[in-house]
Amino acid sequence: MGKPLVLITGASQGIGAAIARVFAAEVPGVRLALVARQEAKLAAVARACRRAGAGAAECFPADVTEAAAVVALERAVRRRFGTVDVLINNAGVFAGAPLVEMEVAEFDRIVAANLRSAFLVTRALVPAMIRRGRGDVFFMSSIAGLAAYPNGAAYCAAKFGVTGMAKVLRAETKGTGVRVCCIHPGATWSPSWAGSGVNPERIMPAEDVARAFLDVYRLSRRTVVEELVLRPEQGDV
């Protein structure tokens, strides 16, 4: 597979950091472009990835909800590494509230972090993949992008949007050599669960979800995994 360039948004912690570490450890010579707003945490992940075996792991601090920041990000990554081989749209946030009580600003924040970010980054990076005739695009959706639940108006709306956007991109890139996969994890351990009172044993480890991305990527180019659903063995939290 050569030495692919993998760009991961939301790479400073949780599933994004786990994805970076798994690719670093198991894809020889992989080059990682790690993107998030928290530069110090991002740098720590980059160091861990280099220790794990990555050929390169560079930090690109950016707010991927901002169009101008994403344009600058694409230019910086292209100057440093060239064309991205694997795009993992992982950036996102979660917060819950009843629909009629949610503040407009909070709704906009959640939709921007989960959906607008994926649109902006995908729009910036996929054209080069199409021109080259090869690439992989992953969207981090959720079981909340498949079924609604109370107090999830903004998050479910955003993740349903991510699921739909992945379907559209798959239809638009069919036959171009670009594969599009949408991952739907259930409850997965991350810093956001700390202090929740939920037993970590009931939640999937981030490393398991990360490995799903790697396993899908490793399949032959003749195969596309369109969607993948992962749930805790003990059921939804």
> Going residue by residue through the chain (237 aa), what tens digit of pLDDT does each one get?
469 999 999 999 999 999 999 999 999 999 999 999 999 999 999 999 999 999 999 999 999 999 999 999 999 999 999 999 999 999 998 888 889 999 999 999 999 999 999 999 999 999 999 999 999 999 999 998 999 888 889 999 999 999 999 999 999 999 999 999 999 999 887 776 666 667 777 789 999 999 999 999 999 999 999 999 999 987 776
Q: Which residues pair with 219 in a beta bridge?
A: none
Q: What DSSP designation does 30 have?
A: -
Q: What DSSP designation does 236 have?
A: -
| N residues, the chain | 237
Reduced to 3 states (helix: H, G, I; strand: E, B; else coil), residue 151 is: coil
User: Which position has the token pair 């939301």?
Assistant: 10
Residue type, 115: L
Task: Give me 214's structure tokens.
Answer: 């790697």
Distance CA 219, CA 40 (A): 34
Distance CA 21, CA 12 (A): 11
**Using only C-alpha atoms, what is the Rg of the chain?**
17
pTM for the full predicted model:
0.94
Task: Give me 120's structure tokens.
Answer: 């902006």
Identify whether the C-beta of residue 231 lies closer than 8 Å to the C-beta of residue 186: yes
Q: If we measure between CA atoms, which residue out of 77, 40, 75, 82 comes closest to residue 60?
A: 77
Distance CA 38, CA 11 (A): 9
What is the topology classification, in CATH, of domain 5-230?
Rossmann fold (3.40.50)
pLDDT in the model for residue 199: 75
User: Which position has the token pair 């021109």?
Assistant: 131
E strand or H helix at 76, and its extent?
Answer: helix 67-80
